[in-house]
Chain A
């Protein structure tokens, strides 16, 4: 008996040694990569992310379109001063990463039926080179700045904190989160499947697959538009891509006693192994090949969907933002690597779809985003990152108007709501233009967190945000935008000085 335990201990020890070596190897890989980047003289790497449906693709398409078309962007200093001579797309330098399908997305926006482009399902990249004249130092000097824009799902960002968590911790946290009042009804099926499960029983593929399916169904359901929950790692469960059905994403948290050692060959051991495999084969490569190489990051947040859903969804979004920040921190935990590695020095949190509100409400939207990210920003203290928060619309789908109705004067917006959207009993067909008053956001941003409700019916909310169709634009001209220029100034301004 004792010898068995000793052997187990030994085994555990070798495992920690192994993980130490693999960590070291991992760090060394990072350093090599960053040195390689340094000598290859790559340009600025700009990360664009956000949870699904936050408007990443639209943002990126609009950004590239504005720069290439040479649109006047008053707040973007280099453009306002007329120092940008040209911006052009270049062949994508990383051969193993898909190219961002800019032309297709633009075509779908500008096409006759004006559809929002397909959403981001995987990482993609685009190289844009800006030719400009520098206004500093030795007088006018022509330079060019290659920008590698990396677009990836925000869900992957939420995976990064998993790197520091072992299986037992993660399982416990996920189980606890699934029992909160907001999530309990959504996760009921999955938790029922866990009942009577023996973690120390034999590892059967069938059982594992069954609970993983229930778990995935729970995550998918929570992501639905009506619930709009945000913190749902592991991200690949929502967007499996070519991993569909592979063991690395066929696991789920099961209740474990943290003090008990996990016996080999058991169901728990299998889950643990797969969880570690997920980290090794999915999370780490993403971190090493993409995330750790970014210089600037914009995080797009769809606060409006969460506002439509209710306080619980907003709190969940806040939690997700804090976790995102943990991801940015995760990269710096080790002293060794932080010396060599290029680091993110500016992060912009942007509330997208600001055009769904009248501009007099933008301040309140920004205040809400600020409230959502306060904890995240507090986390970034001491990391040496510059952070800003704005409300923007990369493509402005509406114009503004004033409605006088029943003795009230309302600040409203005019646009074409998407087919199937409803507001105040009025349903839309996706063709007719309508003047929409979405309601007033509360003056005190903290008040949105009060309550437990989720997927609230329209009548319970003081606001209702509908989605609009893309605006008709003249061919070749970029669509109007709101504060896209300010975002560009924050993200790129100093490199184009």
Chain B
């Protein structure tokens, strides 16, 4: 064996033929020893979760994954809500009693309506709970996948990727991608690579869909703002469009937010916007405001339209990051200029970047 690794050996520091650090050296030292003082790195398996991902996780924590802790405001509101619902119940019973007092048939009709109301309410509540649980599960999956990817943990990656496949089981258009990912879980693939495979195959098409959705919404908002006659109208329109967009994006990634789910999601998106705000000002908005797009030079309304479009696109990008069940690994997180390039092309809302409607 020629390429045998270097043999173990040792040198006494009091040996005169050895040069140690800066000590007086013999003319031809057999060995030179240089002390090293760097501290030993705390963890050799570094978990490089990048900054953007940490921001997304922080945003998820403040909304989707927030743990409800009893607070004074919480006590106040739950107390109030309890009293109000008791009052409503009391009112309903007295109403029905009143109806019975008038005529028995009227009372029966009242009871029937009451039952319908209760059944409907129970259904709504159940759907809401299910929706919130699903959204939370997706957010948890995101965090777990990010950790597994950072740690290159093969077993965890396999488990999570299979869960991811399960999440999209009822989407016929992902059939091929699912089969591909499932094949990969059976092959010998490292944890990090497995997650990347799943991201490329399963999540990328969804990313494209979500981006197309953002582009359409941004375009619509900028157009309507530019032509709408009253400021109040376009405020309402922008808000409605943004709510619709957020909902759509959540649905694309497998969530089905109801009212409370949407509120939680909105809190996460708000947090994400606030955390990443500085960066975005640096790259797009300032460029737009200071440099003055061609559009805003043409008319003030047009400029407002572009600004509202930008806002929509930014909220969309944040919603995308927060709703995504997997962290951005091989795929770069889209910026505003990726999802709505037409806002920067200086041609107003004329040109659509994607063919998707």
Contact = CB atoms under 8 A, between A and B. Distances in A.
B357 interface: no
Nearest to A424: B9
Contact of B33 (A391, A412, A439, A463): A412
B27 interface: no
A137 to B, nearest CB: 6
B32 A404 contact: yes
B41 interface: yes
Contacts of B30: 405
Interface of A: 74-75, 137, 359, 362-363, 366, 381, 391, 399-406, 408, 410, 412, 414, 417, 423-424, 426, 428, 432-440, 458, 461-464, 466, 482-483, 485-486
Nearest to A461: B8
Given A417-B10, A432-B13, 12 more contacts: A362-B44, A410-B9, A414-B13, A423-B10, A424-B9, A426-B10, A433-B14, A434-B12, A435-B10, A436-B8, A482-B40, A483-B42
A460 B32 CA distance: 27
Given A434-B10, A435-B11, A486-B42, A414 B33 contact: yes
18 contacts: A137-B69, A362-B40, A400-B36, A400-B38, A401-B35, A404-B34, A414-B13, A414-B33, A423-B10, A424-B7, A426-B10, A436-B9, A437-B9, A440-B5, A440-B6, A458-B8, A463-B8, A483-B40
B8 A439 contact: yes
Contact of B35 (A400, A434, A439, A485): A400
Interface residues of B, number: 30
A75 B43 contact: yes
A404 B11 CA distance: 11
Contacts, number: 109
B31 interface: yes
Interface string B1-25: 0001111111111100010100000
B13 A437 contact: no
B44 A402 contact: no
Interface in B56-80: 69
Nearest to A366: B44
Nearest to A465: B8
Interface of B: 4-14, 18, 20, 30-38, 40-45, 69, 155
A75 B10 contact: no
Contacts of A466: 10
A405 B12 contact: no
Nearest to A358: B36
Contacts of A438: 8
A376 to B, nearest CB: 14
Nearest to A378: B155
The 7 A-B pairs with the shortest beta carbon distances in the complex, nearest first, are: A439-B8, A405-B31, A464-B8, A424-B9, A400-B36, A433-B13, A436-B10
Nearest to B71: A138
Given A403-B32, A414-B33, A433-B13, A424 B42 contact: no
Contacts of A362: 40, 44
Contacts of B10: 417, 423-424, 426, 428, 434-437, 466
A222 B11 CA distance: 32
A408 B42 CA distance: 28
A401 B5 contact: no
A404 B8 contact: no
